[in-house]
Structure 1
Amino acid sequence: MAVLAESELGSEAQRERRKRILDATMAIASKGGYEAVQMRAVADRADVAVGTLYRYFPSKVHLLVSALGREFSRIDAKTDRSAVAGGTPFQRLNFMVGKLNRAMQRNPLLTEAMTRAYVFADASAAAEVDQVEKLIDSMFARAMSDGEPTEDQYHIARV
């Protein structure tokens, strides 16, 4: 069962509910890491029924990988592209990798929870893992590029 992506949610209420669920997941993981993220605790904190939570996210892994994707999207949106302009592709990529590393180091328990879920995700969370991978590829390819990334830059980013 795939996660309901934000773009698939029909109403503002559904998008807000998904946001609350991910916010609750991240808050719980920030305090107690991977083990602390329990579906009942997330549902209670997000003020949704457990059944509703499972409709949006079928497992803890789905929750945490989706949270990782959202966190990377947030970092990407906050990145000032003019700050990475100029220099070599290596320098721009190094800047972006450093930015991600610093962001992830701010909250070690949250980072551990999200990356653990990402690394151990099974086929049921393939869509969420793929979304995170595509986001990382895009962030790195755009960092290497002075304009629109080339196919070669996307291939390099995947490595």
Structure 2
Amino acid sequence: MSTVNSLTAEDLGSAAQRERRKRILDATISLATQGGFDAVQMRAVAEQADVALGTLYRYFPSKIHLLVSALGREFERVEAALRDKPLPGDDPADRVIYVLKKTTRGMQGDPHLTEALTRAFMFADASVQNEIHTVGMLLTSMLTRAMHPGRTDLTSDDVAIARVLGDVWLSALVGWVTGRSSAEEVSEQIEVAVRLLLR
């Protein structure tokens, strides 16, 4: 089992390296949008990103590292879009439901990309733990911010609830990607879980 991790933006010292990483993730998302998980081949990513194949492997040791990092970037994009605007809802449950449903609709609107990112998340092993941790932290941050906007004194219970809700949401998304749940069922599962945990 590899213990090599992807290079994060923080690992990269120069603007050129950060730009190269961005191009690689852009190419990954583009290929996944066009053809899902199977369309993301390391050689194709390297060609589209205009980097050598060896360089790509230095940044991302495997296709799973690459796609889970792309999922993290998608969550960063969603979090940035939600960060500076007030969320609708009179209580924590309403706001969390809004965030999860909005994120879900956005992902369901791009089914090939969602399939690729979700499959990579499901296939990830311990060698991808840093990338999985980053994704989990982003999701937890989005949910705790929705639960308690503007608060910095979050309790361990707040964080635990957000983590459980994130796990339920990812599980519901897997159900949709694999055809076991409809979009409506995913929405219902999310709402039930949130209402139970945040009542």
User: Do the structures match in fold with TM over 0.5?
Assistant: yes
Normalization by structure 1: what TM-score?
Answer: 0.96
Shift of 1:86: 5.3
One-letter amino acid matched to 2:98: F
For the 8 Å contact 2:88–2:94, the answer to whether it is kept is no
Counterpart Cα distance in 2 of 1:26 and 1:146? 30
Give the equivalent residue in structure 2 for 1:156.
Answer: 161
Q: Is the 8 A contact 2:68 2:120 kept in 1?
A: yes
Deviation by residue 1:30-83 (Cα, 9 ceiling, x = unmatched): 111001110000000000000000000000000100000000000110115543
Secondary structure (helix, strand or coil) at the match of 2:54 reads helix
Give 5+ residue unaligned stretches, structure 1. none
Higher relative contact order (CA 8 A, sep 6+): 1
Q: Which residue of 1 aligns with 2:90?
A: 87
Q: Report the identity percentage.
A: 57
2:79 corresponds in structure 1 to 76
Q: 2:108 touches 2:114 (CA, 8 Å); kept in 1?
A: yes
CA contact (8 A) 1:85 1:146 kept: no
Q: Return the match for 1:143 from 123, 146, 155.
A: 146
Q: Which residue matches 2:30?
A: 27
Q: Give the aligned partner of residue 14 of structure 2.
A: 11
In the alignment of these two chains, the number of paired residues is 159
The CA RMSD measured in Å over matched residues stands at: 1.2
Q: Normalization by structure 2: what TM-score?
A: 0.77
Deviation at 1:85, TM superposition (A): 5.5
Task: Structure 2: give runs of 5+ residues left out of the alignment.
Answer: 165-199
